[in-house]
Amino acid sequence: MCGITCVLSKTEQNICSFLLDSLFLLQNRGYDSAGILGVSYNDTLYMKKFASTNKVDSLKKLKNKVCDIYFKSAIGHTRWATHGSKTDINSHPHKSMNDTFYIVHNGIIENYITIKTMLLEKNYTFASQTDSEVISNLIEYFFSMTKNVCSAVKEACQMLEGTYGLAIICRNTPDIIYVIRNGSPLIIAENESMVVATSESAGLVNHFNHYMNVEANTLICISKQGIDYENLEKIKLNKTDFELSSKPYDTWTLKEIMEQPDSLLRSINNGGRIFKNEIKLGGIEFLQPIIHEVTNIILIGCGTSYNACMCAKYYFQNYSGTDVSYFDGAEFTDSDIPFLGNSIILLCSQSGETKDLHRCINIARNCQVVTVGIINVIDSIIAREVDCGIYLNARREVAVASTKSFTSMLVVLLLLSLWISQKVGSKKIQYNVIIDGIRALSFQSKKILNTICFKDSVLNKLNKPSLFLLGKKKNGSHRKGRCIEDKRNGLYTCRGV
């Protein structure tokens, strides 16, 4: 998962500062590298890109190199390496062999080796190890025949197999940015001073009141006149004060750990999802007429969300009275759907765009199985395509290690299991005891965090080279999840037992 942003000024303002702020807010999508291709007001093109190292933050280095340049338009990228190692040359933007096209790409091109082989036979050269550079050369190849940018982009995209969100600048038409997507998210927004396309709403940096989702396989041209495509539906943007710093904490991970009392409270909608002792989940009215007929619940997640699914299996087994199974999204197939009975699939994702999870929606549709999204990011691809769903309300998570979204996901899955139990009446459960515990989570977590988080005696005991976490049954799921996050943070040689 990577982050892309493109900006074009409709006035004479310098968009460089906005672009850098946007990329900063997209770093949760990729820390490995950052880069931009900017067009100055005399149509000079400047490309700068850097990979992060243990001593160098790529975005800080990029800011130092370009902050004094006056750009009228630019495309930018934050990378999470999938093809090719973490180096400057593998960073985005990528340019075509003859420096005609410059692209930033979010996604994975599955047939890039086939296309690259074809282009090599036509004497095209490549500088990087990435699948993305193939796109820039492929567009240039078609442009050499058609001499039309739009036709070249469309023909190139027709050959691509996989996912992509693309922003493209052509040296021949520097006053236009071309954007297109398939499978990867891309939104676009416009006001009186600029037009922006970006991977998610955080990249809009609170400068806009509305945004529009770019439809799949729709090429949009952005210019000083605005957006050339008229049939885009405007969506009101719920503005959030996106923070540019982890202060007063040293790291985003620590900040988000300490935010859990608030995120846990939001996961129950400040109490609005529990009325007296009845669970109220407004996003899943779609399930109400069919929930009595459901015999199988399938939980699917990836990474930390998969561990949440493992833990939630016990909730649904104990409270919903249905058969429950869980799967990693990358391994799920239609043969995993029980042949007998009626099933629903719960798709659990913090980002709402996990590729391995997104493909499960088509599997479910082909088998006529209802899908329910348990998602954090509002209006994300999975959130838009499932039949119904519940938002975590954990708000933005910047750190690589998942903290508050994991605990919020557990709460939401617990609420859903109780909602099903109440609708079906399958088991005699002491709802008041469980619900009182849910209501107390925010207060209790705050109490614990304030008690132990910064005590030197605790920190000194944890200052060891290795960590073993013990747990069984549902606590075994917590054990595995914690190991993943500690490894991501590089804290320990960590093993769950």
Per DSSP, the residues of 185-248 read --EEEE-SSEEEEESSGGGGTT--SEEEEPPTT--EEEETTEES---PPEEE-------S--TT
- The amino acid at residue 448 is I
Q: What is the pLDDT of residue 494?
A: 53
Contacts of residue 425, Cβ cutoff 8 Å, sequence gap at least 6:
none
Which range has the worst mean pLDDT, 26-30, 365-369, 444-448?
26-30
**CA 310, CA 478: separation in Å to the nearest integer?**
9
Q: How far apart are CA 198 and CA 205, in angstroms?
A: 10
pLDDT value at 204 more than 50: yes
Q: What mean pLDDT is predicted for residues 423-450?
A: 88
Name the more confident of 20 and 458. Answer: 20
Which pLDDT score, from 0 to 100, does residue 486 have?
47
Number of residues assigned to the chain = 497
* Model pLDDT for residues 169-179, shown as the tens digit of each residue: 999 999 999 99
229 touches 214 (CB < 8 A): no
Residue 338 preceded by cis peptide, ω within 30: no
215-219, 248-252, 367-371, 419-423, range with the lowest pLDDT:
248-252
Q: Per-residue pLDDT averaged across 454-465, rounded?
A: 64
CA 484-490-303 angle, to 5 degrees, is 20
**Do the bridges between strand 234-236 and strand 342-349 make them parallel or antiparallel, or are there none, so unpaired?**
unpaired
Residue 453: the pLDDT is: 56
Residue 127 Cα distances to 12, 131, 133, 134, 412, angstroms: 35, 11, 8, 10, 47
Amino acid identity at 315: Y
| 388 close to 353: Cβ distance less than 8 angstroms | no
CB atoms within 10 A of CB 466: 8
Distance CA 170, CA 37 (A): 11
**Rounded to the nearest 10 degrees, how much is the dihedral formed by the CA atoms of 372, 390, 30, 333?**
-10
* One-letter amino acid of 301: G
What percent of the chain is predicted at pLDDT more than 90? Answer: 59
**Cα–Cα distance, 378 to 29 (Å, whole number):** 16
Whether 190 contacts 227, CB under 8 Å: yes
Output the six-digit token pair for 18: 């906005």
- Which tokens sit at 355? 């590729």
Q: Domains in the chain and their CATH numbers? A: 3-236 (3.60.20.10), 252-454 (3.40.50.10490), 457-497 (no CATH)
d(CA 442, CA 447): 9
Q: Which tokens hold the place of 489?
A: 């943070």
Tell whether the model's pLDDT for residue 29 goes beyond 80.
Answer: no
pLDDT at 365 over 90: yes
* CA atoms 269, 272, 278, 283: torsion sign: negative
- State yes or no: cis peptide before 261, omega within 30 of 0: no
Give the model's pLDDT for residue 487.
47
The whole-model pTM stands at 0.79
Lowest mean pLDDT among 194-208, 361-375, 441-455: 441-455
93 cis-preceded (ω within 30 degrees of 0): yes
Q: Give alpha helix (H) positions in 110-268.
A: 112-121, 132-146, 149-159, 252-258, 260-267
What do you get for the CA distance between the two ends of the chain, in Å?
A: 30
Active site annotation includes 2: yes
For 201, the token pair is 């709403």
**At 428, is the secondary structure helix, strand, or coil?**
coil
Q: Find, among 304, 297, 279, 280, the residue nearest to 407 by Cα.
A: 304
Pairing of strands 71-79, 493-496: unpaired
Q: Is the Cβ–Cβ distance between 80 and 122 less than 8 Å?
A: no
Amino acid found at 49:
K
Which tens digit of pLDDT belongs to each residue from 279-298?
A: 999 899 899 999 999 999 99
CB 247 within 8 A of CB 398: no
